[in-house]
Amino acid sequence: MNFSTPTLIVNKTITLNNLDKMINVANKNNLILRPHFKTHQSIEVGNWFKEKGVGSITVSSITMAEFFSSEWNDITIAFPLNILEIGKLNLMIKENRVKLLIDSISSLKALDNQLEGPAEVYLKIDVGYNRAGLKVDEKQKIKSIINFCKTSDKISFLGFLAHFGDSYKSKNKMEIKNVFQKSIERIKVLSDGFPNFRISIGDTPTCSTIKKYPDFINEIRPGNFIFYDLAQYKIGSCEIDDIAIRMICPVVSIYEEREEVLIYGGSVHFSKDRLTENESDIFGYVYFGEVWDVSNKIGYIKSLSQEHGVVKLEKQISLKIGDKLNVIPVHSCLAVDKMGAFYESGKRVEIMK
């Protein structure tokens, strides 16, 4: 198609190859693959998973669970319960199996008090990311939550859910493996102390790198792996040709004396996520020519404002106003969310609104 404004495109072949590899890891380890759908946010891509036999999904909000509930009936909401949305939740659980996340006895009691039907809950465990959840050594709090669920006629306790978020701070595969090992050691303490409960873990870096899982892990929940992005490539989660997403941006000005190009494509399209490379900010790798050819890199986006993107050229190349450049974004999840839709084989794919 002849795109005239910043446009996000997805390569289905690469996407399905990424999915096949993750399914293979799950199958070899007898794990449930419960992919996180916050990356693609689309019914269309969700159906690609379904066609591959994936029957359970993860989402990041009650709103996202509502969106996918028309096609999926086994959904984990991997965000601690927001009790102010209990009305929407009560409507949803009448027809869908929704697994909830709690991380305190107070939120559990509030849920039990206002819930109008049965629900299953995971306890969020913090293995070192310091974002949400209880630490594995907070045994009394963990016991209180499990015991409370035993007395409830509406809430069933499933087990423990963890996100190895420190893996995103890694610089290479070895650091990713180290994060996994340290996190698994903490989870092992939890499993030994509270056996016979399910344990769900998930993040794209470790799920893309680790091939063998201990028997006490029951499921994995990666999300970004379906498209990958520049951030995942830079830490070693994937190869550059595993990245299944590009932003097509028009050239609007050329500054030969600065060896820079201005593109129509800014923070409203990419987000402001950045990487650092050779002491320079990087907002995306820039290519020219065939969209999926990773040998034709010509530079990188050095700065973004709302609609503007400034590209630093790394090689001499003949460009003209109106040419279109192909950009690998730093963070595919946010690029998809910012754009509100993407194209696959010329077809517009809508995402959750």
Q: What's the token pair of residue 265?
A: 């494509």
Phi and psi at residue 131, to the nearest 5°: -110, -50
Strands (E) in 175-292, as ranges, are 198-201, 219-220, 245-255, 260-264, 275-277, 280-282, 284-287
For residues 326 and 246, the answer to whether their CB atoms sit within 8 Å is yes
Q: What's the token pair of residue 80?
A: 């601690």
Residue 33's closest CA among 54, 48, 61, 47? 54
Kind of pairing between the strands at 284-287 and 324-329 = antiparallel
Q: Tell me whether residue 159 is exposed, middle or buried, using C-beta atoms within 10 angstroms of its C-beta: 0 to 12, 13 to 18, 19 or more.
A: buried
Q: What's the token pair of residue 121?
A: 């809950």
Strands (E) in the chain, as ranges, are 7-10, 32-33, 57-59, 74-80, 97-102, 119-125, 155-162, 198-201, 219-220, 245-255, 260-264, 275-277, 280-282, 284-287, 297-304, 308-313, 324-329, 341-344, 347-350
Q: What's the token pair of residue 159?
A: 């087990």
For residues 33 and 54, the answer to whether their CB atoms sit within 8 Å is yes
For residues 46 and 57, the answer to whether their CB atoms sit within 8 Å is yes
What are the structural domains of the chain?
12-227 (3.20.20.10), 240-350 (2.40.37.20)
- Please give the pLDDT value at position 281: 95
Kind of pairing between the strands at 198-201 and 297-304 = unpaired
pTM for the model: 0.95
For residues 283 and 20, the answer to whether their CB atoms sit within 8 Å is no
- Please give the pLDDT value at position 260: 97
Residue 247's closest CA among 305, 325, 333, 320? 325
- Please give the pLDDT value at position 353: 84
What residues of the chain score a pLDDT lower than 50?
A: none
For residues 308 and 255, the answer to whether their CB atoms sit within 8 Å is no
Supply the DSSP symbol for 264.
E
For residues 304 and 205, the answer to whether their CB atoms sit within 8 Å is no
- Please give the pLDDT value at position 67: 95
Alpha-carbon span 98 to 324, nearest angstrom: 44
For residues 127 and 203, the answer to whether their CB atoms sit within 8 Å is no
Residue 334's closest CA among 40, 101, 48? 40
Q: What's the token pair of residue 9?
A: 């495109």
